[in-house]
Structure 1
Amino acid sequence: MERTQQFAIGIDIGGTGTKFGIVNHRGVISHKGDDIATNTFKKVEDFVDALYIALKPAIDQIGINHLKGIGIGAPNGNYYSGTIEYAPNLHWRGIVPLAKLISERFGLPSSLTNDANAAAVGEMMYGAAKGMKDFIVITLGTGVGSGIVANGHLIYGHDGFAGELGHTIIRPGGRKHWSTSLDGSLEAYASATGIAITAREMLENSDKSSLLSAYQPEKINSKIVYDCAMKGDEISKEVYRFTGQILGEALANFVMFSSPEAIILFGGVIKAGDLIMKPTKEHMEKNLLPIFQNKVKLIFSELKEADAAILGASALVWEMRD
């Protein structure tokens, strides 16, 4: 069957909700269902059944013969085994053979990887990395994820878990991560969670007046920091400058590791625009050897945030061998 007549199912599993849709090879979502509340299913089998029921009307309309397969992005997803392994934000404990369960229920081949890797495949097929063979995607949301593409191939490592750049130590002995207990990881600073922590710390240690003072410290989140920064609040803007510095220093390390053509930033944190992009770019370039300077494009994702997770997961299907 010609690719133009084929479709892929994209499923993005989050700790709270699961997004899904049916996508053609050009990245157009033809069917998009309502999110499923992931955390309401104690048994993974019940979750798979609910997913099948939600997608069945669209599958019947398109015809199963026109579906090439199913791509799944999930926390701690292992591409090699098709399993979710010890995901801390899901009810299903241990090693869950999700790709196998979904393949058996739907009668279609399935491919699974972690959500950041799926984002990288999505960027390569539909987004800012189209035509690139060497690039890194950094997802800046509640946490910091990453997908590394080298020589046109996603880097999985020997066990399927390569690319956890968010957990690399960028400030040895620094801020303790709330979940991993690592000291000074990139995620502890450059995530939305880290930005909120930085804002509270700066507010507590500063004598300057700030719009942030109108909020109880425990209520301050990254959106509040963003809103205050947009209104010209100096402490909030300094939060982004500091965050950009740490992110830029980390990106310099990543550049010297794989020499990518571009680093693509994705996620809610990038809504801050130049507030975070300028210091990130400055400190990335400042910490590179001359042979790497001014060679790597630092760009924002071109994928629509609401659809990116579905597109990224569906892109895995086109990577499958026939």
Structure 2
Amino acid sequence: MSQQLVVGIDIGGTNTKFGIVDRRGNILCDGRMLTNQHEEVTGFLEELHGHLALLIEQVGGMENIKGIGVGAPNGNFYTGNIEYAPNLRWKGIVPLAKLLEEKFGLPTVLTNDANAAALGELIYGAARGMKDFIVITLGTGVGSGIVANGQLIYGHDGFAGELGHIIVIPGGRLHPGTGAHGSLEAYASATGVTKTAIEFLNNRPECKSLLRNYKPEEINSKVIYEAAIKGDALALEIYEFTGQVLGAALANFVMFSSPEAIILFGGLTNAGDLIMDPVRKHMEENLLPIFQNKVKLLFSELKESDAAILGASALAWEMKD
């Protein structure tokens, strides 16, 4: 049984999810913790070690673990560092792979969290059998993993595919984490959708909406979704606007790499057709005819908590013994 398991860790801006995975992609046990309650990475590592030590004990101890794979915002596959992640409280360069190796005594490999999700889709999910596809993660931020000719695209420095930070509305909404104006993440993330709702409410005081029953700090993507499924016109317009911005951006991505599919993953996809229909409409409208009606637009087939854990675990299986 020695070294037949790996640890997969998905670090998000809000939550960190982790699990023990076997070679067939079964998550034997898992857990989660808050990422954003730790101002320093040392406190985060202490809590993570406590959780994982219990899980590793459940599966027979450290001798059964081959290594650790990690997906993290701005994670650099080449260096093992998290570098200047705008959605994390730990600023600058954090040598996370090295710190985890020291903490657990296990070899550790790290990549961007969206790249990990793409690996999860490639091996276990909607992208099985595909050689060209893009995964877009719609969570606290907007991430992306690009696979072309069967290979994950890292670029020369490990940071290729930061599609969430392309500028979609020049001079538009400020992204507080990066200082950029008008980036995709500022509009198409769960955070961005919430900001759109508050802007619409403030700019249209005469417009009736179920969202006016909430204080601004109480409005989130779940509240907006619940209003939309009740037919609230303003909530539906929020999804239309978000779909317009995201759909146009996806059209650009299609014309860049001509993928077989774009797979949407993350909390915002819980809105289903409310987000998918306007995204598809605006993507097709912005494509050249040679690209229209060729690209599959899919939701992830994996549970949100599983995809990035499985992708991160796939990294660990690739490590040399």
Cα separation, 2, equivalents of 1:142 and 1:75: 11
Q: Per the alignment, do residues 118 and 240 of structure 1 end up closer, same or farther by CA in structure 2, a change over 3 Å counting?
A: same
Aligned to 1:19: 17
Q: Per the alignment, do residues 212 and 54 of structure 1 end up closer, same or farther by CA in structure 2, a change over 3 Å counting?
A: closer
Q: Which structure 1 segments of 5+ residues have no match?
A: none
Q: Aligned ranges for residues 14-163 of structure 1 at < 5 Å?
A: 14-33=12-31, 35=33, 39-40=37-38, 42-44=40-42, 47-60=44-57, 61-163=59-161
Tell me the amino acid that sits aligned with residue 54 of structure 1.
H
Q: Aligned ranges for residues 226-305 of structure 1 at < 5 Å?
A: 226-305=225-304
Cα separation, 2, equivalents of 1:246 and 1:313: 29
Q: Deviations over 1:28-52 (max 9, x none)?
A: 11122453656347353x5445434
Tell me the amino acid that sits aligned with residue 316 of structure 1.
L
Give yes or no for contact 1:135–1:261 (8 Å, CA) kept in 2. Answer: yes
The count of corresponding residues between Structure 1 and Structure 2 is 319
Cα separation, 2, equivalents of 1:91 and 1:189: 21
Give yes or no for contact 1:17–1:39 (8 Å, CA) kept in 2. Answer: no
Cα separation, 1, equivalents of 2:310 and 2:39: 24
Cα separation, 2, equivalents of 1:175 and 1:146: 20
Give yes or no for contact 1:135–1:263 (8 Å, CA) kept in 2. Answer: yes
Q: Aligned ranges for residues 137-216 of structure 1 at < 5 Å?
A: 137-206=135-204, 207-216=206-215
Q: CA RMSD in A?
A: 2.3
Give yes or no for contact 2:13–2:36 (8 Å, CA) kept in 1. Answer: yes
Give yes or no for contact 2:8–2:18 (8 Å, CA) kept in 1. Answer: yes
Aligned to 1:8: 6
Cα separation, 2, equivalents of 1:218 and 1:50: 28
Q: Per the alignment, do residues 34 and 172 of structure 1 end up closer, same or farther by CA in structure 2, a change over 3 Å counting?
A: closer
Give yes or no for contact 2:138–2:267 (8 Å, CA) kept in 1. Answer: yes
Cα separation, 2, equivalents of 1:121 and 1:192: 23
Deviation at 1:57, TM superposition (A): 4.4
TM-score (norm. length: structure 1): 0.90
Matched position secondary structure for 1:263: strand
Give yes or no for contact 2:9–2:71 (8 Å, CA) kept in 1. Answer: yes
Q: Identity percentage over the alignment?
A: 68
Tell me the amino acid that sits aligned with residue 173 of structure 1.
G
Cα separation, 1, equivalents of 2:10 and 2:122: 17
